[in-house]
Amino acid sequence: MVKIGIQGFGRLGRNLLKLAFRKAQQKGCGDVGTVVMVNDPEINSDCLAYILKHDSFYGPSPIDIVEMGCSIMLDGVRVEITQESKIEKIPWAKNKVEYVIDTTGENSTCQKASKFLTGGVKRVIVTGCSNVPIFIFGVNQCCYELDMKVVSAGTPCMNALMPLLKVVHEHYCVELAMSRIMRPLTNSDSILDGTKGLCCRGTRAALNAFAPAVPFTTPAFVNKIMPELEGKNESTALRISVPVVGAVSLNVKLGKEATYDILKCRLKEASETFMKGIIGYTDDYAISTDMIGNTNSCVVDAKSGTSIGKCMANVYAWYDSELGFASRIFDLANYMASREGCPPGSKA
């Protein structure tokens, strides 16, 4: 059982903490990681229990949460809370933290993330895309090597897109892929026009408009995960004015003939077998709010895809950008922990 510390107590950090706690309750101690500590210099210490208990989109938590000064109790299990702003001074060693999961997206480079490797910390998992190895659980986690101290779990939209690409490519050999990501609101989006943003449009008010956005599924990062698609993929993104749930529209030119009806059958098979828990599948007339709380990386909307001719198809899928992403981060951490002690170079 690996001991985990979470850096950042925003929406992703809080969802990760509650998810890890629920998993530990379901499986018992010993086979899943446990969160023992959270650090966030911007935590409002007067509201710790409140913000964990209440969520405007997921609803109230069934966990009994009690604030105890510098820690919180979740159904009687203690998690220490610290507010250290300097990475090098975070007291991970006090709680024997072995893995740090940085949910802030602010320390995604190897240079920054390596600063967490103090006080007994063995591994660091960051979010976002940079110069560290990216592992999308369900797609390429088997490429993880024990000499990798800092890795990335990618982004919510990468975790939604890549499993779809993997399944389609394995069955029909993708010749070209064009994806459009519909990215939901995050805390980094502006309520009103401001001065901060990844691009000029990102500075504009997000609540009453949707706009093209910076895609986090660019070929440079897709190619790191699936090198066989190099030169064959491109991506665009839209920031949409809804919280939590986003969508992926994937257009593919196939190397083997297939209608959409055949393609969606393959995706359904995958959702029930080797991609179970990673890809979901629905025949229902779903809308975004139906997907809040879904822990799959993506959910194929069978009624929304289509095809033209024999080699062109579109796949549409939903994704919960918070709980779905938190689930894959936790899966990756447990997978890495399961590899501890394996011979160097061995593959799972």
> How far apart, in Å, are the Cα atoms of 105 and each of 170, 187, 334?
31, 12, 20
Q: Please report, as a single letter, which amino acid is at residue 36.
A: V
First to last CA, the chain: 18
The pair of structure tokens assigned to 345 is 């170079």
**C-alpha 282, offset from chain centre:** 21
**What is the phi/psi pair of residue 251, to 5°?**
-105, 130
> How far apart, in Å, are the Cα atoms of 2 and each of 24, 310, 320, 324, 334?
12, 49, 26, 21, 8
How far apart are the C-alpha atoms of 172 and 158, rounded to whole Å?
21
| 40 annotated as ligand-binding | yes
How far apart are the C-alpha atoms of 224 and 90, rounded to whole Å?
31
| 193 annotated as ligand-binding | no
Of 246, 260, 344, 340, the C-alpha closest to 303 is: 260
Q: β-strand 174-185 against 245-254: which pairing, if any?
A: antiparallel
Of 277, 297, 169, 296, the C-alpha closest to 223 is: 169
Q: Please report, as a single letter, which amino acid is at residue 88.
A: E
Please provide the size of the chain in residues. 348
Residue 250's DSSP bridge partners are 179, 315
As separate numbers, helices (DSSP H) first and strands (DSSP E) second, the chain gives 7, 16
Which residue ranges are tagged as binding site for NAD(+)? 40, 127
Which residue ranges are tagged as binding site? 40, 127
